Structure 1
């Protein structure tokens, strides 16, 4: 049964009171004394957003191991069947258009993800010469987990590894070689002649398709984050968050699509959290990709385009003053952006 937000909030409040529970730091679980074994602080009830792996009100004790997969079983075991929700007809509810125009099988959104293990010997780092050269600050290390394998995993020697987090789970990782693109290309040309191993600029996870992932997705708070800035890559997310001081913002977040296009799954993931406005912030040289992506987004959100005047620069290259100038004076609607680019030809 699908619960309304009002019903969900009421159940959370009643369970909190009845079990003398407290929310955890991530605001995704109620923590209390186990009703089965009596151990304090060992019983958790999940109250976060539902996903393929987690359902609201499923519960587990980390002492005795007792688990419940359904709300009904939990209420029965704690003697609160009076809280069981009976499904009724909501006469004021909007008609679901899918009842009139059902989706074809090929149009269904599959946003299921599996949990991914980070490379062997991965350890988080809070200082790295390559990241320092990319402008990383202490706040960046705190908000954007990154690590290395400390030379203990040959496959990932000379890589920095960024976990991709979705609803608290690691669902992928991006491993970026610490050499520049020019250095890698130069080495690979010589290695090819010698018949030696060539370096990959990126050595990413393969278990989940990246068209289902958004970097920094958990910074988008359901029904609180109104505006999301969409960029291409991880370093763009970090740079914009730092320069716009968005670390603790609940209203605005920056996410990356891992390239110059957006998928239906990524659009759905933003919709599901109640995002209203998106600002498309792809690099200034991606004019046609920006036009295409803006057109795809316009059916679901209010769309603005952050027009970077210099096509040779990205968010990492721009100063804080230049970025504020773009957001103050160079945000354009898709139509304004198209007209501007026509005039510049």
Structure 2
């Protein structure tokens, strides 16, 4: 027998209290410490609408992989059988492998563990830098986004600016960007093939932690306070949007980067675990297929909007305030609207 709305709401309140659980960003799952293995924020209880694949109060731990399939089994597991509304138990129910993630993905624990790393030898934070100023950096940017150099004391990082990637106050990675343009680097590397010398790479990043587990500016997402996150590709996109929209220390809206045109399950989980409800996807305008894919992957867990940049040749650094204001006021689209728009534009 189906539960009434009052019964379902009552159960959600009581289970939340018993497990000290909080809803995820989309409000479709309760996230808590697993009652079986004790791992924090790994146990999900589905509280969304019933579908052919999912039923309310099915539960699964993405650490120890323990699952319950019915309300009765869940209540027994948390030692609250007194909350049972109906005596229905379906011991033959098939394991639902899509409690928290899209259909078709391989069921496995999300490994979001990170190790603290060391920044390159002789790294020192800077509060002024000619290259960064040429990229638009202001005093507020230097103050808000740590960046530095090795002051030519570490030859591997000569002429690089280094951005630490910080998670829960710890340095878990870094992105370093050479100050030369791509054309200058290409000309240099073409020359050393003829004359010999040291090859330059545009980026020289940390390798200790996989970047699919990292989000740049993640600590600006405040648990249960930040409602909306703008997801962009890279460090300079984060800095530019924060400056141009004046989002410094804004706890409700912030910007993070996924280090490329895709988002991973671990990155989705990290945003979901802090209670984010709305995602604005702000990848470059020419990344149409990547935007569609990322939007589809995030859509089950958040309210998704896409910042449709009209001029695909520009990124957030190159757009002025008026253009950015127009995008966020006139060109935010749902995934369906975005797909229809691009379909019409392709004709």
TM-score (norm 1): 0.72
Name structure 1 gaps, 5 residues minimum. 9-49, 53-86
Distance 1:323 1:175 in 2: 27
Number of the residue aligned with 1:80: none
Q: Any idea what SS the aligned residue of 2:317 has?
A: coil
Q: Pick closer, same or farther for the CA change 1:51–1:114 going to 2, 3 Å.
A: farther
Task: Using the TM superposition, give the Cα deviation of residue 196 of structure 1 relative to its aligned residue in structure 2, in angstroms.
Answer: 2.3
Task: Using the TM superposition, give the Cα deviation of residue 294 of structure 1 relative to its aligned residue in structure 2, in angstroms.
Answer: 0.8
Distance 1:145 1:195 in 2: 35
Q: Could you say which structure has the greater relative contact order, defined with CA pairs below 8 angstroms and 6 or more residues apart?
A: 2
Root-mean-square deviation over aligned CA pairs:
2.8
Q: Pick closer, same or farther for the CA change 1:51–1:343 going to 2, 3 Å.
A: closer
Number of the residue aligned with 1:16: none
Task: Using the TM superposition, give the Cα deviation of residue 101 of structure 1 relative to its aligned residue in structure 2, in angstroms.
Answer: 3.2
Number of the residue aligned with 2:297: 296
Matched, 1:186 2:192: no
Distance 2:198 2:134 in 1: 27
Matched, 1:275 2:270: no
Name structure 2 gaps, 5 residues minimum. 1-14, 21-39, 43-77, 85-92, 99-104
Number of the residue aligned with 2:80: 89
Distance 2:241 2:81 in 1: 43
Distance 2:16 2:263 in 1: 30
Trace 1:129-278 onto structure 2 (pairs within 5 A): 129-278=130-279
Trace 1:91-106 onto structure 2 (pairs within 5 A): 101=96, 106=107
Distance 1:210 1:227 in 2: 22
Q: Pick closer, same or farther for the CA change 1:270–1:92 going to 2, 3 Å.
A: farther
Number of the residue aligned with 2:29: none
Distance 1:324 1:88 in 2: 52
Q: Any idea what SS the aligned residue of 1:107 has?
A: coil
Cα deviation, 1:296-330, whole Å, max 9, x if unaligned, reads 11111111000001111000000011101100000
Task: Using the TM superposition, give the Cα deviation of residue 189 of structure 1 relative to its aligned residue in structure 2, in angstroms.
Answer: 1.2
Matched, 1:314 2:309: no
Task: Using the TM superposition, give the Cα deviation of residue 342 of structure 1 relative to its aligned residue in structure 2, in angstroms.
Answer: 1.1
Q: Any idea what SS the aligned residue of 1:253 has?
A: strand
Cα deviation, 1:11-31, whole Å, max 9, x if unaligned, reads xxxxxxxxxxxxxxxxxxxxx
Distance 2:278 2:205 in 1: 30
Distance 2:82 2:325 in 1: 47
Distance 1:161 1:344 in 2: 39
Task: Using the TM superposition, give the Cα deviation of residue 51 of structure 1 relative to its aligned residue in structure 2, in angstroms.
Answer: 8.9
Aligned residues: 268
Say whether the 8 Å CA contact 2:41–2:273 is kept in structure 1: no
Number of the residue aligned with 1:64: none
TM-score (norm 2): 0.72
Cα deviation, 1:68-94, whole Å, max 9, x if unaligned, reads xxxxxxxxxxxxxxxxxxx8639669x
